[in-house]
Structure 1
């Protein structure tokens, strides 16, 4: 394991800090912009004006800007690039939805904004829903407690990351002791994971076990034996056949490695075999993601700028998932979803028995794995098919905007609308705020947007629909940006994804006071703040930002509006308007 460049796995029995364990609030890099300051999302009051304009309905944005009847192909990469993105996203973030807790909160049958319901309005000519809206549950609220934040931010509603934000293969093993034990083969005393006790593939290789509660809600073929939902470390495993295939692959790999370790180390206990195998699997997830995936997504230049070389394992890092990363930036991959799932034979041609499928026929359908050739035709399709490319005028396939299905829902849903509504549910600041956060120029005019998007028609549609550049939803804005060289994202998402993936030795949170922003910065134990005094001037910082250097002494400095003071607990940077580009990991 030591020769692997990305071994960030949290060792067994290491004390876990509360900010990256499961079911804790995601961090905010910029304060939320709730309409009432605390919990009412953007668009809650439909007549409210934002910069003089009403926010457009997410469904209208989806239909007129995002929806595409065709998807070009990516000449450089296979469909595996797309599927790995979804898979690894499920390893680091999961935002659970609220459930209706009062009689008036019937989110499936009401078009009223009643917490936790925040339905998506549709036009009269829209066939997406006969009742006039697409149901939407708000994200489950979580507690946000941080030393130094003002009372306004402390009272703001935050959202939960229900899984561990570490890239730790929790997607394989689960994020709680209960789930972990449920997925293990505890009776075998071999350190292996449990496998399906009813079905195996034609070569005798195992499938994932079924969920504990049967019958499950997964789709059925209506013929022969029932195939229920599979169980894995992440509950979203059954969303698509590629996800099931990757989960199955890692189940088999864990059991293969555990068997090899048992052969080499016959004296090891079942617990040792399990934990040592889990460390290897976790390291492999990190290597594939940081070496082979992220550089292709944000481009080599952004990777060098925002992430850089790996500097060794550091147990003091804070890898907490940020709200904008989970809710907007890492959802860039939804624009790369292909409308067709290809299944290939051993010659990498269309399978003679199992033809290609429209995407909506593959969702929540584990029966197709068991009864239609196992995972091999799907894996060959992933590596033998070109990925879908992204263009400003070919963003979201109609398969995901018009024919998406979810369990226990009586109608199709629109993934693009859900993403936009989720960003408003979390009250993420707008596109311009995040461009400034990343040190990018603001969009002040149609010409500015044309230059960024490189598609005049799309730029005109966006500004006409939103009225003001500051109103543009961050997910949409980041999605339509022209791609950076050698990347699959524009500069904004490259920045936000890169910042999330970079591990630094310090941290700061944001709060508001007197109309401005305050960043409370602290170095972790064993690191010293170094750097000259800096002040916020009209055109930016007067010098480079301080850094946390590796020493045994802590020194924290207060920098505020041109004066420098020494303090024991934190570094305060008073920002008059906006956060500029810095090298701090937030």
Structure 2
């Protein structure tokens, strides 16, 4: 039996809640002290130099002389796409809802002047766009209405919002608000199921439901009739359609929820649909935590750094603020953007190029759910994620052209530059520079070009950086952290390893519903949860029949793959309850009301298990 739950108010009920401000680990640096981004005022100098245009930095640093894509010899493409998926579980900074400048009324898509909320990315004189415009559009992030107060928040400073819960809680599956959650559920089911697509299926397995407002903005199959539209999918996170692997992972977890819910219904028919739904949701959230912290993060940080920054779990600490930090969401966890392959592989049962559905350029996978519905479903994409290597960061060619020159954003009529967007977003948020964050992590500040060359490893690259920025203090934190050579056994340099490690520790230690926290699950349930894996989820919810035991580790087919029958699975008998007396039914009813995994009106920290 589970322990009883009861209400009482926590010390910091807004920590980690949706629609509150991102945490500040260092004070923001705005040009007017309160609101104006870095680079807002023409001629403003930093350490005696003007900041370079973000588009100039992108042009000169992100695409070097080499066009080669380096392949990661250790890890699969799944490592990259899980990183994006779990990033969407813990952070989403919305842009301004206004599309025009407040004062002049000019549309941000058609102005190259700084006027809130427009902060266009100016194009250097030698880098005109094909449209002959002198800028790319950029909308500032929405200011936060509710800020989680810390000692580093000077009064009146603009803060940015995290519109989803900071916790690793599968909000990608269930949403970040009670209203959204209701739209994702099949409320008529007796098994506590999530809604699925009623128009198409994947060989008998369900797709995600379509959005309710139609026609949607997603791309359509060339030459298809209007009656044959495949609309955007809907899920717990609105970014589900950005790229096909994201849609695939979202779909897997909806299928897994429904699979577990149906099995729990057979085990405990006395529970009722609400309890089945909540208990299943609790399991799915725990699996997201386990896969992320056990299987993913140690590979990014390296085992030595993981032990240094996180160490063994020591229980819930109510003094730890789990809110996602601004620097993590805006810079450090965007390291993965330079590990995205220019190709989306689609493989057959022998993990070779699919004979009917060829692999795609990255750009062809943007906002194209029709490709899953019309071109073989999840299985070819899943095999590509498991069977092909991740791209390894290459200082000679940091970002694929499809992201740097052809990034597609719905409702913006021109393609964008992801590298420039990341740099501009950091300035929009007033993030301190690279050196300040090195000092925050306890590292030496960079004083000279040779200091920087020691960290980056490429003298030619350092010369380009310093020629543009003038002084090490001016280097944008996303760029500086990105260019550091990886730590031993990891995929990020010392600075990003520090920032990601610190953030992951707060997400774990500040979460009262962390799967290892006593009382959340029984010891037997915790033991069973640890046997499960992303490979098992793939086996149970797709037509893929052979997988690597570790889906993030690159292996050769067939020697490093096993049949699904040999992949361990948790035994749900650990969740069986016996209705031995009438008081149990009262307990179940009360638990369904008060023991929800995440409460949005009060925030999860107002509930104790």
**TM-score band w.r.t. shorter chain:** 0.7 to 0.9
Shift in alpha-carbon separation, 1:13–1:368, aligned structure 2, 3 A: farther
Cα displacement (A) at 1:268 = 1.0
In the alignment, the residues of structure 2 paired with residue 147 and residue 198 of structure 1 have an alpha-carbon distance, to the nearest angstrom, of 47
In the alignment, the residues of structure 2 paired with residue 95 and residue 105 of structure 1 have an alpha-carbon distance, to the nearest angstrom, of 23
In the alignment, the residues of structure 1 paired with residue 149 and residue 333 of structure 2 have an alpha-carbon distance, to the nearest angstrom, of 28
| Cα shift readout 1:97-128 (whole Å, capped 9, x = no counterpart) | 00326362411010010000000001344325
Other-structure match for 1:446 = 449
Matches within 5 A, 1:354-373: 354-373=357-376
Match status 1:122 vs 2:120: no
Match status 1:54 vs 2:50: yes
Return the TM-score normalized by structure 1.
0.82
Cα displacement (A) at 1:412 = 0.8
Cα displacement (A) at 1:503 = 3.2
Shift in alpha-carbon separation, 1:129–1:480, aligned structure 2, 3 A: farther
Other-structure match for 1:191 = 192
Task: Name the count of aligned residue pairs.
Answer: 497
Match status 1:309 vs 2:309: no
Other-structure match for 1:64 = 60
Matches within 5 A, 1:128-527: 129-143=131-145, 145=147, 149=151, 153-201=154-202, 203-221=203-221, 222-224=223-225, 225-314=228-317, 317-503=320-506
Other-structure match for 2:589 = none
Farther-moved stretch of structure 1 (414-423 vs 129-138)? 129-138
Cα displacement (A) at 1:301 = 1.3
In the alignment, the residues of structure 2 paired with residue 147 and residue 70 of structure 1 have an alpha-carbon distance, to the nearest angstrom, of 46
Of residues 14, 17, 25, the one that matches 1:18 is 14
Cα displacement (A) at 1:318 = 2.4
Unaligned segments of structure 2, at least 5 residues: 511-609
Of residues 92, 95, 103, the one that matches 1:94 is 92
SS in 2 for 1:502: helix
Other-structure match for 2:78 = 80
In the alignment, the residues of structure 2 paired with residue 315 and residue 148 of structure 1 have an alpha-carbon distance, to the nearest angstrom, of 15
| Cα shift readout 1:306-365 (whole Å, capped 9, x = no counterpart) | 100112345664210000000000000001011000100011000011101111111000
Matched-pair contact (CA < 8 Å) for 1:19–1:25: no
| Cα shift readout 1:160-200 (whole Å, capped 9, x = no counterpart) | 00000010000110000000000000011210100001110
Cα displacement (A) at 1:212 = 1.5
In the alignment, the residues of structure 1 paired with residue 148 and residue 191 of structure 2 have an alpha-carbon distance, to the nearest angstrom, of 43
Shift in alpha-carbon separation, 1:13–1:196, aligned structure 2, 3 A: farther
Cα displacement (A) at 1:392 = 2.4
In the alignment, the residues of structure 1 paired with residue 508 and residue 285 of structure 2 have an alpha-carbon distance, to the nearest angstrom, of 22
Shift in alpha-carbon separation, 1:346–1:93, aligned structure 2, 3 A: same
In the alignment, the residues of structure 2 paired with residue 199 and residue 242 of structure 1 have an alpha-carbon distance, to the nearest angstrom, of 19
Cα displacement (A) at 1:144 = 5.6
SS in 2 for 1:75: strand
In the alignment, the residues of structure 1 paired with residue 404 and residue 145 of structure 2 have an alpha-carbon distance, to the nearest angstrom, of 33
Relative contact order, CA 8 A, sep 6+: which one is greater? 2
Other-structure match for 2:35 = 39
Matched-pair contact (CA < 8 Å) for 1:12–1:275: no
Structure 1 or 2: larger helix share? 2
Matched-pair contact (CA < 8 Å) for 2:322–2:509: no
In the alignment, the residues of structure 2 paired with residue 306 and residue 502 of structure 1 have an alpha-carbon distance, to the nearest angstrom, of 7
In the alignment, the residues of structure 1 paired with residue 74 and residue 17 of structure 2 have an alpha-carbon distance, to the nearest angstrom, of 37
Shift in alpha-carbon separation, 1:240–1:15, aligned structure 2, 3 A: farther
SS in 2 for 1:396: coil
| Cα shift readout 1:231-278 (whole Å, capped 9, x = no counterpart) | 000000000000000000001000000010001111111000000000
Matched-pair contact (CA < 8 Å) for 1:432–1:442: yes
In the alignment, the residues of structure 1 paired with residue 272 and residue 460 of structure 2 have an alpha-carbon distance, to the nearest angstrom, of 64
Other-structure match for 1:566 = none
SS in 1 for 2:161: strand
Cα displacement (A) at 1:207 = 0.3
Matched-pair contact (CA < 8 Å) for 1:392–1:481: no
Q: Report the RMSD for the aligned CA atoms in angstroms.
A: 2.0
Cα displacement (A) at 1:411 = 0.9
Return the TM-score normalized by structure 2.
0.79
In the alignment, the residues of structure 2 paired with residue 160 and residue 437 of structure 1 have an alpha-carbon distance, to the nearest angstrom, of 22
Unaligned segments of structure 1, at least 5 residues: 3-10, 508-586
Matched-pair contact (CA < 8 Å) for 2:241–2:366: yes
Matched-pair contact (CA < 8 Å) for 1:391–1:480: no
Cα displacement (A) at 1:300 = 1.0
| Cα shift readout 1:13-57 (whole Å, capped 9, x = no counterpart) | 786821211100011000000000000000001211111111111
In the alignment, the residues of structure 2 paired with residue 12 and residue 303 of structure 1 have an alpha-carbon distance, to the nearest angstrom, of 35
SS in 1 for 2:390: strand
Matched-pair contact (CA < 8 Å) for 2:171–2:236: yes
SS in 2 for 1:407: coil
SS in 2 for 1:108: helix
Shift in alpha-carbon separation, 1:275–1:74, aligned structure 2, 3 A: same
In the alignment, the residues of structure 2 paired with residue 324 and residue 266 of structure 1 have an alpha-carbon distance, to the nearest angstrom, of 47
Cα displacement (A) at 1:452 = 0.5
Shift in alpha-carbon separation, 1:13–1:134, aligned structure 2, 3 A: farther
Shift in alpha-carbon separation, 1:12–1:334, aligned structure 2, 3 A: farther
In the alignment, the residues of structure 2 paired with residue 129 and residue 160 of structure 1 have an alpha-carbon distance, to the nearest angstrom, of 33
In the alignment, the residues of structure 2 paired with residue 76 and residue 481 of structure 1 have an alpha-carbon distance, to the nearest angstrom, of 20
